[in-house]
Structure 1
Amino acid sequence: MATAHWSVPPQSHEQAALCHSLTISCPQPPGTGELRRRLEQVGELADGVLWERRTRERSTAPAARRYAEQEARRPLRATSGPRLRITLVRHTDDVADLVLVASRDALSRAALSDLAGFLTGGSLPRARRHGTPRGTGGAGAAPPAGPEWGFGDLARRGHVGAARFSTTVRENPVDRKLLTSAAAIVLARYDAEETPRIALLDSDAAGPHALYTYVFKYDEALSVAGFLAVGPETSEPAGEPATEPGGGPAIALGMVFGEWDEARRYHPCLAPVFPLTLQVEQHPDRSWSGTCWYDEGAIDPRIARAFTDQVVHVAEWLADLGESGEELPLSATPLMSAAHAADIVRRGATPAIAATPTAGSTVHGRFEDLARRHPDAVGVTDGTRTLTYRQLDEQAELMAEGLRSSGVVPGSTVGVCLERDAILVVTLLAILKSGCAYVPMDVTYPHERLRYTVDSAGVRLVVSTVDVFPVVEGVRSVPPEELVRLGERSVPRGRTTSSDENDPAYIIYTSGSTGRPKGVVVPHRNVLALVDGTAEDFGLGEDDIWTMFHSSAFDFSVWEIWGCLLTGGQLVVVPFWITRDTGEFHALLAERRVTVLSQTPSAFLPLVAQDRESPAELAVRLVIFGGEPLDARELLPWFARHPQAECRPINMFGITETTVHVTAQTVTPEAALRGSRSVGRALPGWSVSVRGPRGEVLPVGAAGEIWVGGAGVALRYQGQPELTARRFVIDPVTDERIYRSGDKGRMSPDGSLAHLGRIDSQVKIRGYRIELDEIRNVLLGAPSVSGATVVVHHDESGDRAADRLDAYVVLGRGTTVAGVAEHARQLLPDYMVPATVTELDVIPLTINGKVDVARLPAPTAPRPAETESPDPVGTGSADRLERDVLGIWSRHLGTRVGPEDNFFTLGGNSLLVVRVLAEVKGLGAPKIAVRDFYQNSFARQFIQLVRERMTLASDAPAAPSDEREGRRR
């Protein structure tokens, strides 16, 4: 397919879109005087209408053709000038090109052709003028905005591309209807959420009669024959015609049909009227050829070429289908050949990086190798305890011996429910050394969720501290220090349990749509592939200092722990309360000189604000974003203090089922200004592709489900073979095992992936993966609840800290909203408990039987009567401090707060806590730790705490004058 390009200044785009041109080759060109006489006969002679140009080339030279083409693409001036321009381009061999450029509202294509014929010796043309041009104002309008799937480059606005295409001569020829229908099918695949609409531009008509908008009743369950029989349903365009380029047309595709004439080159528009404007002309042999005109500011050239190729492919497929179209559904229509689809899939894969020959094949084997080579390097620290690689390895080996002595056999699962500290890391390594898989659980989880997890994973021993893990029949809870004692008494020591790279390393439980979490089984090889695939590009090594910020039950911790310890880095385990206090966390980053920081975007934003206020200098060189979509614009304040040359932000897309990370994209200041949604290309060893509902490969630009293949694909869901079979499938294109992610995305022409959220009811809030159906099923399990739904509330300002879950329930007699909320708290972790529970008489449904979110009322926040305040604290009268604190709470929670309200019951979260404490400090109060806030989360309690701290501060004795002077110095 050939392509051509030229430029149209944005301020001239509308005028160019309203013009068309016709070029005729004249072997025996008329003289200038003859042209003038003929123009007088048709009343077209006026100043500025007739021009003559000479080239220094023979007519057969490419340069001569280009010159004529330039004249044919040069639009008329603004509305005050003539509506016609005629240029005779004479070449050195006495051959000329006659170029006519006119406004479509002044002369139709037929009138233009008749006039050209008369000027070159034909008969006097029939009157085909259109009269006064209409709607040609606004010459400063910009080129048409492109669809999201177009991936246009704004820096290329005004650069017009022309992609050529053609059909072949076949037994069952393609006709105009098949071409239009094929274009509708292709358009529907690119934008599945929109009804395909195509504008047909009639170059022989003017004004509102020049445009017909075809709306296709597209249903993939319909048979191909049924779709073609129904055909397009014509609808008149409302308001201004869609051909007005300055109006930001909603229609992505326009088509212009005509007859091929080798001697007459016709351009229906001198700038694209629509983002994609297809000019199609039929040849005498009933084949078609054409040009796709597009503005590169709206459509990437590669997508324009692919789109037109697919229209031709589908049209020819429809023509050859014959009677079999009665049986085949529209969903069976192939947009491209199998070879082309396979090529798209190949482009989404990145070759793996080979591991070094000496590297171990298991996580603990790789660690042991590093411990032998760098025994005295610091491996892990938590602020109170520091262990070198040798000490970490020895402690883990003792604990592994203790596990063996406790009856744990290789291949079994061992639960871990510990606070975040260095001993947690020792325990995880010990479990791997014993030949087992670890099952991490957060100490804050409700007991019922902990019981379900150990039962589902087949856990018989849990490493946990006293009084943390609930009593579960058949499950022993053993503290880590007891395992160490058992290991010290065990003989012989240092036994190595043989493990295979295919053995499970861990099982992490994520939210599940059935109402119960689902366990993802990940083998050793996947973790090693993740480290090997990132170490070189990220420059990971023994000079790096990492943080373990996240819970071990969140798979981001897999990256933090093993990404650090398998590349020789130092791991700083961040205590829970410091992760909740942005000021203390920033101070820790500065004090420990942390170089590699992993964060969800929601957690990072408060850190950016803290960094602007803190004089402490950070040493962070890599910021790894994951867990939720990143709005790159939010990084602009960070770039102001941390240039990209010093700190590299990397946006990563990933899923627990594909081992934490799948893609990586370095975020530049330019990308941040654009608000880029790119998550980059697949990591080495991984592959990504975008598929339709039946697994068909979608073209570049089209939105669909992200399928992930390669080194990160997990083994299975624990104990759920049916779910495993549905989500872990064999790819019909590559015959490789692949994971259907349920995430929505589109591939860009450069092979990078844009992440567009979820297809199903799964959401991400502050990095946590949540299945709304799991919460709904838990609510339905409460006594006398007959209906329930859960929605995500996004703050209008876009502030993710204010995102919350709102639940709506239909209650029977004897059940209260407070009782339902308490039921949810007993089964769900804090981040999944709805911030509000609102009672309804009935859940509103759409005509399709789905929840009608638009008809759900504003949520009802729990009031004091529905909460039980522990040991109410007297606050005295409603003085200024009380009013100020309640005002701060109300503003951040988005609801009126009373003295008896609980911050977290009203939808508060850790990010809002940090903001509230910052504002309270502005009232003149001393610094209040996040831990103190959590322990005084009722408004009355917190106000009393602030009052007491302010009193203590005011009663403190003043420093001696010499001490004050010393501080000043």
Structure 2
Amino acid sequence: MPEVLSDAGTPTERAEVASTLPAWFAHQAALSDQAIALTAGGTSLSYAELHQVAGGIAARLAAAGVRRGDLVPVLVPRRHIVPAILGVLMAGAAYVPLDPRHPDTRVAGLIGRVAAPVLLTTGALADRARQWHDGPVVLAETAPDATCPPVDVTVGPDDLAYVMFTSGSTGTPKGVEITHRNVTRLMAVTAGLYELGPDDVWTMLHSFAFDFSVWEMWGALLFGGRLVVVDDDKARAPDELLRLIDDEGVTVLSQTPSALAALISADEQREARLDRLRLVVLGGERLDPASLGAWFARRGDEQPLVVNMYGITETTVHVTYRRITAADAAADAGSPIGVPLPDLDISLRDADGAPTPAGEVGEITISGPGLARGYFRDADTTARAFRTVSWGPGDDRPTYFSGDLARQDADGELRYVGRRDEQVKVRGYRIELGEIGAAVKAHPAVVDACVLTDTGESVGSTLLAWATVRPGGPDAAELRTFLAGRLPAHMVPGELRVLDALPLTANGKVDRRALLAGARTAPASADPAARQPRGDSLEEAVAGIWAEELGVADVGPADDFFSLGGHSLMVIKVVNRTRRELGADVPMRALFEAPVLADFVGRVRAGSTTPPVPTAS
């Protein structure tokens, strides 16, 4: 183990000496041994305690046969994520995050692809894990075993730290291989930009199968800060998240633009203090600065600072940075993503890989130490995406071709334009529309399918799907249930329709314009009788709110909020109006759990603080 650095060591100096994540964390744990490192599931651990717990996990993994360079699938609830990841890394292995909220078929498929000898999980999930994994299963929450000697393994900076599977255009997720050096240089560079340190309190809001979690976790733990792992319910309920930010004294918050828009809407109702919040980092999807106008009008743009960071899993979370101001919100000048991090280079290139002329749109290509090793067991896809190209005379470098399009301003700053292919980002998740289409077509009665988004990559975009089926095949509700069993919730289309045939252009291709035009017309209920009012004035009031927010003519008891085009931002608006206009104490998650009007009305009725609404006779 390298010598422990003093407090005077800069982040870059620490990254040079402690060039792997477990070594750097060990340095910080020695410096901050009694400081609180982690708050999760109602329990807090100091740096010394977290290091000890993770060391115990590492010892059990080693005793089960895990060796340097192995992959370890990790299937754990949120409160166990951080010790589990640290334990895998301390064992010299790389973790493969498996979100237990994802459907069984997806989790099982990834376990099968990785074919790792050992799987890390918890007692509550062990039976589920053993259905798909025949080898040893190690439990993350087991007390330290005296028979397991401490792990003493040397890990190099170019060893893998994790393999994260993203959505794949062929219907198969792609595993991105990220090394320790990829992550440590990211944290060293950004620490200098944002003055990260021991006074910071971070939230882990995102799934550890989403690379924002890498930034959240190490931004706290490598610099002596405290990491608060936020429960799923609070992460999805902006009003509760605002309360948590105040109660925990959060200083650094990472959000997708969609999530921040929901938080801004909740803040308009609650007016949180946010007195310690100094930095909001946006990423994961396209930012429309105008969406921050109300926030800046109320809070200004100095405290907290808002920074937009464009990034890609294949280039280790973040690539560029740009402070966003009130002037940006008023300018209506596209989506600014700024300049590359100091250790990365960006070039805009045409379809042939040649640099585009100044001011023209080109594909974002990246070179530098953030580039992933490649894709897991996929040499062909790796060769297509990671190419060696010229950056000047005698300067040929490995370069990642992102598929993202941008334009460079005269001052050198980049503005994001869109995607070259069918990949989109919805609520922060990178999604290949082809993967969703493949899942729809996997139903034995589906003949063909098309998947689009209604507004490209803008905030609040909704996934739309159309399918043609064989006689006697599934209706839209049945098909939606089928997809929910195969795809994560963020990939299930918000609107799904079954058609007799997909419209075609004169060239025989699917007429996407026609599909999108039809999507703007509210779908008819499968049961017309279900759309008739039942005489319940509370139901009529809730239906009226839904209809106004969704832009549909009317809503019946059997209608599903998400099938009518609802999405997470509309959830915030609908629930806030329901609270304000109907006096109902209903949580944000109620609409996710009860998306059918009649069921949601039941939740509203149970939470009503006003006299019962009479039913008309």
Question: When the two structures are superposed, what TM-score results if normalisation uses the length of structure 2?
Answer: 0.90
Closer/same/farther in 2, CA of residues 814 and 609 from structure 1, 3 Å limit: closer
Closer/same/farther in 2, CA of residues 478 and 862 from structure 1, 3 Å limit: farther
Q: 2:504 maps to what in 1? A: 845
- Among 399, 409, 412, the residue aligned to 2:57: 399
CA contact (8 A) 1:639 1:669 kept: yes
- Among 197, 201, 209, the residue aligned to 1:541: 197
Q: 1:662 maps to what in 2? A: 319
Alpha-carbon distance in 2 for matches of 1:658, 1:760: 18
Q: Does 1:923 align with 2:593?
A: no
Alpha-carbon distance in 2 for matches of 1:849, 1:726: 29
CA contact (8 A) 1:602 1:767 kept: yes
Deviation, structure 1 residue 776: 1.4
Q: Does 1:741 align with 2:402?
A: yes
Closer/same/farther in 2, CA of residues 582 and 473 from structure 1, 3 Å limit: closer
Q: Does 1:492 align with 2:152?
A: no
Deviation, structure 1 residue 443: 1.7
Q: 1:781 maps to what in 2? A: 442
Closer/same/farther in 2, CA of residues 932 and 457 from structure 1, 3 Å limit: same
- Among 523, 545, 559, the residue aligned to 2:215: 559
Deviation, structure 1 residue 849: 4.8
Deviation, structure 1 residue 357: 7.2
Q: Does 1:858 align with 2:518?
A: yes
CA contact (8 A) 1:836 1:861 kept: no
Alpha-carbon distance in 2 for matches of 1:838, 1:924: 32
- Among 538, 542, 546, the residue aligned to 1:889: 546
Uncovered stretches (5+) of structure 2, i.e. residues with no partner? 1-10, 613-617
Q: Does 1:938 align with 2:596?
A: yes
Q: 1:949 maps to what in 2? A: 607
- Among 442, 452, 457, the residue aligned to 2:99: 442
5 Å-filtered alignment, 1:800-879, equals 800-801=459-460, 803-818=461-476, 819-856=478-515, 858-859=518-519, 865=526, 877-879=534-536
CA contact (8 A) 2:286 2:458 kept: no
Deviation, structure 1 residue 876: 11
* Aligned partner of residue 520 in structure 1, secondary structure: strand
* Aligned partner of residue 453 in structure 2, secondary structure: strand
- Among 28, 41, 45, the residue aligned to 1:387: 45
5 Å-filtered alignment, 1:419-430, equals 419-421=77-79, 423-430=80-87
- Among 265, 275, 279, the residue aligned to 1:609: 265
5 Å-filtered alignment, 1:197-596, equals 354-356=12-14, 359-382=17-40, 384-421=42-79, 423-465=80-122, 466-467=124-125, 469-470=128-129, 471-482=131-142, 485=143, 487-493=144-150, 495-596=151-252
Cα deviation, 1:219-242, whole Å, max 9, x if unaligned, reads xxxxxxxxxxxxxxxxxxxxxxxx
Closer/same/farther in 2, CA of residues 748 and 411 from structure 1, 3 Å limit: same
CA contact (8 A) 1:456 1:719 kept: no
Closer/same/farther in 2, CA of residues 472 and 846 from structure 1, 3 Å limit: same
Letter in 1 for 2:400: Y
Letter in 2 for 1:620: L
Deviation, structure 1 residue 383: 5.5
Q: 2:425 maps to what in 1? A: 764
Cα deviation, 1:346-366, whole Å, max 9, x if unaligned, reads xxxxxxx95447631101111
Higher relative contact order (CA 8 A, sep 6+): 2
Q: Between the two proteins, what is the percent identity of the paired residues?
A: 38
Alpha-carbon distance in 2 for matches of 1:697, 1:358: 33
Q: 1:639 maps to what in 2? A: 296
Alpha-carbon distance in 1 for matches of 2:140, 2:148: 19
* Aligned partner of residue 680 in structure 1, secondary structure: strand
Letter in 2 for 1:464: T
Letter in 2 for 1:604: L
Closer/same/farther in 2, CA of residues 667 and 615 from structure 1, 3 Å limit: closer
Alpha-carbon distance in 2 for matches of 1:887, 1:920: 10
Deviation, structure 1 residue 474: 2.4
Closer/same/farther in 2, CA of residues 358 and 727 from structure 1, 3 Å limit: closer
Alpha-carbon distance in 1 for matches of 2:524, 2:37: 49
CA contact (8 A) 2:60 2:148 kept: no
Cα deviation, 1:40-82, whole Å, max 9, x if unaligned, reads xxxxxxxxxxxxxxxxxxxxxxxxxxxxxxxxxxxxxxxxxxx
Deviation, structure 1 residue 932: 3.9
Alpha-carbon distance in 1 for matches of 2:565, 2:70: 40
Closer/same/farther in 2, CA of residues 396 and 509 from structure 1, 3 Å limit: same
Q: 1:330 maps to what in 2? A: none
Cα deviation, 1:161-213, whole Å, max 9, x if unaligned, reads xxxxxxxxxxxxxxxxxxxxxxxxxxxxxxxxxxxxxxxxxxxxxxxxxxxxx
Q: 2:278 maps to what in 1? A: 621
* Aligned partner of residue 903 in structure 1, secondary structure: coil
Deviation, structure 1 residue 794: 2.7
Q: 1:83 maps to what in 2? A: none
Closer/same/farther in 2, CA of residues 675 and 389 from structure 1, 3 Å limit: farther
The number of residue pairs the alignment matches comes to 589
Cα deviation, 1:722-769, whole Å, max 9, x if unaligned, reads 111100111233321111100011222322211111110011111111
Closer/same/farther in 2, CA of residues 425 and 506 from structure 1, 3 Å limit: same
* Aligned partner of residue 608 in structure 2, secondary structure: helix
Alpha-carbon distance in 2 for matches of 1:926, 1:478: 45
Letter in 2 for 1:509: F
Q: 2:615 maps to what in 1? A: none
Question: When the two structures are superposed, what TM-score results if normalisation uses the length of structure 1?
Answer: 0.58
CA contact (8 A) 2:20 2:180 kept: yes
Q: 1:242 maps to what in 2? A: none
Alpha-carbon distance in 1 for matches of 2:424, 2:415: 17
CA contact (8 A) 2:523 2:564 kept: yes
CA contact (8 A) 1:704 1:745 kept: yes
Letter in 2 for 1:616: A
CA contact (8 A) 1:837 1:862 kept: no
Alpha-carbon distance in 1 for matches of 2:133, 2:244: 41
User: CA RMSD, aligned part only?
Assistant: 2.6
* Aligned partner of residue 891 in structure 1, secondary structure: helix
5 Å-filtered alignment, 1:94-113, equals none
Alpha-carbon distance in 2 for matches of 1:462, 1:930: 34
Deviation, structure 1 residue 811: 2.0
Alpha-carbon distance in 2 for matches of 1:780, 1:940: 31
* Aligned partner of residue 428 in structure 1, secondary structure: helix
CA contact (8 A) 1:701 1:748 kept: yes
Alpha-carbon distance in 2 for matches of 1:601, 1:357: 30
* Aligned partner of residue 493 in structure 2, secondary structure: coil
Cα deviation, 1:242-273, whole Å, max 9, x if unaligned, reads xxxxxxxxxxxxxxxxxxxxxxxxxxxxxxxx
Alpha-carbon distance in 1 for matches of 2:16, 2:362: 41
Alpha-carbon distance in 2 for matches of 1:609, 1:822: 30
Deviation, structure 1 residue 402: 1.3
Closer/same/farther in 2, CA of residues 817 and 877 from structure 1, 3 Å limit: closer
CA contact (8 A) 1:402 1:490 kept: no
CA contact (8 A) 2:234 2:241 kept: yes
Letter in 2 for 1:695: G
CA contact (8 A) 2:356 2:362 kept: yes
Name which one, 1 or 2, has greater alpha-carbon Rg.
Answer: 1
CA contact (8 A) 1:504 1:522 kept: yes
Q: 1:85 maps to what in 2? A: none
Q: 1:142 maps to what in 2? A: none
Alpha-carbon distance in 2 for matches of 1:901, 1:738: 49
Deviation, structure 1 residue 815: 1.5
Q: 1:725 maps to what in 2? A: 383
- Among 531, 534, 537, the residue aligned to 1:880: 537
Alpha-carbon distance in 2 for matches of 1:604, 1:688: 27
